[in-house]
């Protein structure tokens, strides 16, 4: 399968998953679904962490070494740091990505006692920007022609998109008060990743390996930020801390087991 075909296939999958996950709460009451959302978020955080630390970062450094990259390795590490700081800066300017805490508070008698309450527009923007970085990560993986990198990044992005889209549907419907407006927010978010996947595949195919490595490492930094921020509110709570840790560990273990199984079966050739 060539890069364009792979990009189209992954884009369609990402689009369908986002639309379905985000549309569900627009037509079905989800007052009893907070526990399910917590589990989805915790598992996705573990999968993101495992994907970044087990595959994205090692593969990023290997991509750079394959191109006889002569720069200092600190610059490769800086790409990870930039990805993390990029998301932190967005959050600092009010363009947060974390709908988990917002949803959690809306589901408890609309209690707004959390640190800050973002607007619907800023939240959609923040989520969509992160969705763009997801597309960049997958596009870089496809362009690198590394099957394990592409597959791992795709699985991580899909795992995170399910709770993100679900929560966006809940939050946007609450903020907008209109299902059509909420659906527009969901559509914007859902299109961001497929758009960047295709643009990345089209324009990154001719890049040198060390530049692709920088893109992968940048994305790994965003993965690390999102994974930690998504679960920190629950980890810090004495009521949910232990369960949140268990959810993250299970998610990481699932991703690790998948990678080991793929390696052992010979399905993925490095």
Task: Indicate whether 270 belongs to any domain.
Answer: no
Task: Report the number of distinct structural domains present in the chain.
Answer: 1
pLDDT score recorded for residue 132 = 85
Distance CA(114)–CA(117), nearest Å, equals 7
Residue 28 DSSP label: S
pLDDT score recorded for residue 172 = 81
Task: Indicate whether 215 belongs to any domain.
Answer: yes
Task: Indicate whether 217 belongs to any domain.
Answer: yes
pLDDT score recorded for residue 30 = 58
pLDDT score recorded for residue 191 = 92
pLDDT score recorded for residue 58 = 92
Residue 259 lies in domain: 3-264
Tokens of 78: 């800086």
Task: Indicate whether 20 belongs to any domain.
Answer: yes
Enter the pTM of the model: 0.82
Task: Indicate whether 17 belongs to any domain.
Answer: yes
Task: Indicate whether 235 belongs to any domain.
Answer: yes
Distance CA(65)–CA(255), nearest Å, equals 25
Task: Indicate whether 132 belongs to any domain.
Answer: yes
pLDDT score recorded for residue 144 = 86
Task: Indicate whether 269 belongs to any domain.
Answer: no
pLDDT score recorded for residue 119 = 56
Enumerate residues 6+ apart whose C-beta is below 8 A from 227: 44, 45, 46, 48, 49, 52, 248
* Residue in 156, 230, 167 with CA at minimum distance from that of residue 193: 156
Spans in the chain with pLDDT lower than 50: 31, 101-117, 270
């Amino acid at each position: 399968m060539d890069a364009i075909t792979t990009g189209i296939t992954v884009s369609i999958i990402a689009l369908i998953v986002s639309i379905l996950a985000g549309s569900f709460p627009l037509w079905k009451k989800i007052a009893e679904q907070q526990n399910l959302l917590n589990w989805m978020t915790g598992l996705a955080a573990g999968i993101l962490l495992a994907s970044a630390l087990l595959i994205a970062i090692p593969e990023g450094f290997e991509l750079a070494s394959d191109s006889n990259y002569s720069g200092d390795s600190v610059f490769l590490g800086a790409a990870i740091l930039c990805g993390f700081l990029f998301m932190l800066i967005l959050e600092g300017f009010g363009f947060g990505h974390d709908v988990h805490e917002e949803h959690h508070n809306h589901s408890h008698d609309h209690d707004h006692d959390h640190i800050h309450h973002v607007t619907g527009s800023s939240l959609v923007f923040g989520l969509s920007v992160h969705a763009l970085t997801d597309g960049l990560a997958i596009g870089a993986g496809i362009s690198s022609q590394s099957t394990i990198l592409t597959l791992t990044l795709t699985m991580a992005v899909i795992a995170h998109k399910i709770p993100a889209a679900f929560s966006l549907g809940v939050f946007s419907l609450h903020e907008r008060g209109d299902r059509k407006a909420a659906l527009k927010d969901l559509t914007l978010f859902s299109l961001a990743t497929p758009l960047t996947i295709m643009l990345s595949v089209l324009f990154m195919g001719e890049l040198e390996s060390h530049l692709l490595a920088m893109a992968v490492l940048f994305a790994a930094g965003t993965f690390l930020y999102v994974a930690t921020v998504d679960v920190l509110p629950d980890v810090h709570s004495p009521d949910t801390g232990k369960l949140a840790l268990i959810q993250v560990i299970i998610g990481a273990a699932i991703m690790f087991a998948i990678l080991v199984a793929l390696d052992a079966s010979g399905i993925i050739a490095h």
